[in-house]
Structure 1
Amino acid sequence: MWLLQRVTAAFLVVVLAFHFFLLHFYHHAFEITLMGTQTRMQDVGYFATMWLFLVTATFHGVNGVYNALVNQGISGTPKTAVKAILGLAGLLLVAQGTRVALYMNGFLA
């Protein structure tokens, strides 16, 4: 998991740079609209990038919180409970994010 945490961090840095460039420098805040977002999400490459960003950020965050708690000494039943709760929270976040992304690209509209 250590290596995967580092790989996801590198991916997040690259995609976040893309996000900032596209939505904060190329387009300005006043130019960002719901319609424009829906148009961008209809592009398969953009949709895939944003969905991978969602999944990667969720894994990176959930795994980071779990590892921080393990490093603080959590063990036994609390460790198992935290793992289950964080795992469920991660799955729900990805499911809801996927639902929103599919709606934004017109697949669920």
Structure 2
Amino acid sequence: MAERYSSFQDGTQRWLWQRITAAFLVVVLAFHFFLLHFVNHASEVTFGMSQARMSEWTYLSLMVLFLVTATFHGVNGVYNALVNQGLTGQKLAAVKWTLVVASVLLIVQGLRTAAAWSTLV
């Protein structure tokens, strides 16, 4: 019989947040595909249309939350995969802080881009 395998220990904060962010990302990605691939076709989308969407507080807030959530979900998954591969000690600490710095840079650049597209900020 196959053993149950998970990259996380049950009941930990990282395990819980990985599942919460996954559920949120599924919903937001469905919204994205519906809006940008069924309501408007990709070839019809212009910068002006994108700027108009990003100039609504609800859409801007959702996209910023999407950015932070996707970054956390991806980085948390990579970190835990490396832990599962047996990475420990100083190498794990170096990878952890590299991922933290990369995450911060990604979020800052995403916020700068969102601000440039929005007329609200």
- C-alpha separation between the residues in 1 aligned to 2:96 and 2:86? 14
Residue in 2 that maps onto 1:33: 46
Residue in 2 that maps onto 1:90: 103
- 1:61-104, Cα deviation, whole Å (9 max, x unpaired): 01100000000000000000000000000010000000000110
Instruction: Select 1:74's aligned residue among 87, 90, 111.
Output: 87
Shift of 1:30: 1.7
Answer with 1 or 2: which has the greater Rg. 2
Residue in 2 that maps onto 1:14: 27
Residue in 1 that maps onto 2:18: 5
Aligned partner of 2:74: which letter?
G
Residue in 1 that maps onto 2:112: 99
Aligned partner of 2:22: which letter?
A
Structure 1, unaligned runs of 5 or more: none
- C-alpha separation between the residues in 2 aligned to 1:83 and 1:29? 37
Aligned-residue RMSD, C-alpha: 0.8
Shift of 1:31: 1.2
**TM-score under structure 1 normalisation?**
0.96
- C-alpha separation between the residues in 1 aligned to 2:58 and 2:19? 24
Structure 2, unaligned runs of 5 or more: 1-13
Shift of 1:107: 4.6
- C-alpha separation between the residues in 2 aligned to 1:99 and 1:70? 32
Q: Which has the higher helix share?
A: 1
Shift of 1:106: 2.5
Kindly, what percent of the aligned residue pairs are identical? Answer: 60
- C-alpha separation between the residues in 2 aligned to 1:30 and 1:79? 44
Q: Number of aligned pairs?
A: 108
User: Match of 1:30, SS?
Assistant: helix
**TM-score under structure 2 normalisation?**
0.87
